[in-house]
Chains A and B, each alone.
Chain A
Amino acid sequence: MAIVTKILFMAVTSIFINNFVLSRFLGLCPYLGVSKKIDSAFGMGMAVIFVMAIASAFTWLINQYILIPANMQYLQTIAFILTIAALVQFVEMFIQKTAPALYKSLGVYLPLITTNCAVLGVAVINIGEGLSFLASILNGFFGGVGFTVVLLMMAGIRERLEKAELPKSMQGMPIALIIAGCMALAFLGFSGLNLG
C-alpha cells in the first residue's frame, strides 16, 4: 500500500507540480514545434514517454556502475548525451524491424528527441535527487506523461486558434508563447499542493 501511494505521489509531482515543460522549462522546442496538430502531438508525446523512461534507466546504470566507480561524475552530461543518442538510434532501428506499425506512429518523432533537453534533463535530475533505479524509471515515465499532457493541451488550443481572428502581429509564434506563459501561470497553482 505504501508503495502505491508513493508511486501516486510521484506521478502527481512529476506530472503537475514539477512539470517538465511548464515549471522546469525543459523540452520547449517540441512543445512549440510539434503542437500544431493533436495527432502529431500525441505521437510525439508517446515517443517522449518511451525515450524518457528507458533513458532514465540506462543513464542511471551508466552513472552507478561506470561513472561513480571511476569517480568521474563530472562527465555526466557528455556521457549521458552519448548514451541517449546511441540508445534512441538503437531503439529506432529495433522497432523499425520488429514493430513496423509502432514505428509508423512513433518512428518519425524518435530522431527529433535524441538531443532533447527534457530527456537529458530527466537523467540529470534523477541523479541529482539521488533517486533509486526504479524511482528513476518512474520519474522518467511520469515526466514524459506530464510533457504529453501539456503538449496535447497546447495542441488543442492551437487547433482552435487556427480559426480565431488574430491581429497579424500576433499570428503564429507570438500567440503560442503568450498561451505557453498563461499555461505556466496556471500550473504554478499546483506548486502549493500539499501531498502530506
Chain B
Amino acid sequence: MMTILLPAMLLGGLAAIFGIILAYASKKFHVEVDPKIDEIISVLPSANCGGCAFPGCAGYADAIVQSGAAVNMCGPGGEEVAKRIAAIMGVSLTPKERDIAVIHCQSGGYNNTFFKYEYKGIDNCRSAATIAGGPNMCVWGCVFQYDCVKACQFDALHIDAQGMKIVNEDNCTGCGACVKACPRSLIELVPISKKVHILCSSRDKGPIAKKSCGNNTACIACGLCVKNCPTQAITITNNLAIIDYSKCINCGICATVCPTKAIEDRMLPRKKAFIHDDLCIGCTICAKKCPVEAISGELKQPHIVDQEKCVGCEVCVKACPKNAIEMVDINIPKKIAEA
C-alpha cells in the first residue's frame, strides 16, 4: 500500500507546491494585456485566411492595437466587421471598396473548349498546365482542373452546366486564395464597382488566339477598345488588351466595340441618365464629365441627356453636386417626359 501511496504523495506534494508558486506568480507578475486585442479577435471571422497580410486573425488584431494597422483590411468580415473594429478602437471608418475575383478567361467552359488531348493525370491545374503546354489548345487559358474552386474557402466559385467557372460576387471576399491557386494567372482581384472586364488572357497573335479559343471570344489585339476608350484606360501589351481599373469609368464602350466579344459588360442591361429639370442648376459639371458628350445645355439652364449617345456609365450621377441625375430604364424616360 505504502509503495503506491508514498510516491503519489510525493509527486502530489511537489505538484501542489509548484501549483501554489505558479498561482502566486501569475498574480504577482500579471501583465495587463490590452483588452481591445481580445475584443477584436472575437469580432474577426476567425477564417485565418491571411487576406489582410497579417499572420491570422490574432496577428491582425495585435497589429491593429499595437502598431495601428488599418481597421478595414479584413476581406471576409467586410464592412460589418470593419465597423465593429472601428467602434472598439474608437476611430472613424474610411470605407474600403471590396475586391472580388475576376477570371480573365471565358473559354466557353469545359464542354466547349478545344482540347489537344484528354488529360487523365493528377487532378490539379498545376500539373495539367505543365504537360505539353496543357491539354487545351489555348496555352494561356483555363485547364479545367478547378484548383481555384478547391482553393475557395467561401463557396464563391462555382461551375455551371457548361463547366465554366462562375464567381459569386456576394460570397467572394477578395481573399486572393484563387489568385494564388491559378497556375496561369487568370484571376485578378478587382474593386467590386468595376463592371467591365476583358475576359481573355491570351498573348497569342490574333488569328491563333481566336482559333484556339473554344468560345471564339479571344482578344485579338485589334486595338478598337484602346481607340474608343474615353479615359485611355486600356493598353495593349503582348497582343492582349488590359484595363487599368484605376482609370476605368465603367462606360462599357469597349464592350460594345469589341469585335470578338472578349470584353464583358456586367452592367447590362444599362440604364440611361435622366436629369430632373427642377433640381438641375445648370452647373455644366455633368456635361464636362460625360465621356461621350451626351449631355448638353446652357450655363444656368437645365441640361438634357441625349438618350442615343448616353452609354449609361453613371459618371454624371456621381459628378452631379445636386443629385439631380437619376439612372432609369430606357423606356421610362419617355413616361417621365409625358408626365
Contact = CB atoms under 8 A, between A and B. Distances in A.
Contacts of B26: 93
Interface string B25-49: 1101111000000000000000000
Given A70-B6, A93-B26, 11 more contacts: A70-B10, A72-B10, A79-B10, A79-B11, A79-B14, A83-B18, A86-B19, A89-B22, A90-B21, A90-B22, A94-B29
B332 interface: no
Interface residues of A, number: 17
B31 A82 contact: no
Interface residues of B, number: 16
Interface of B: 6-7, 10-11, 14-15, 18-19, 21-22, 25-26, 28-31
A75 interface: yes
Contacts of A83: 14, 18
A93 B18 contact: no
Nearest to A89: B22
A35 to B, nearest CB: 19
6 contacts: A70-B6, A75-B10, A90-B21, A93-B29, A97-B30, A97-B31
Interface string A62-105: 10001000101001001100110010011001101110000000
Contacts of A90: 21-22, 25
- Most chain A C-beta atoms within 10 Å of own C-beta, residue among B11, B26, B29: B29
Given A82-B11, A82-B15, A72 B6 contact: yes
B246 to A, nearest CB: 33
A190 B18 CA distance: 40
A96 B29 contact: yes
Contacts of B28: 97
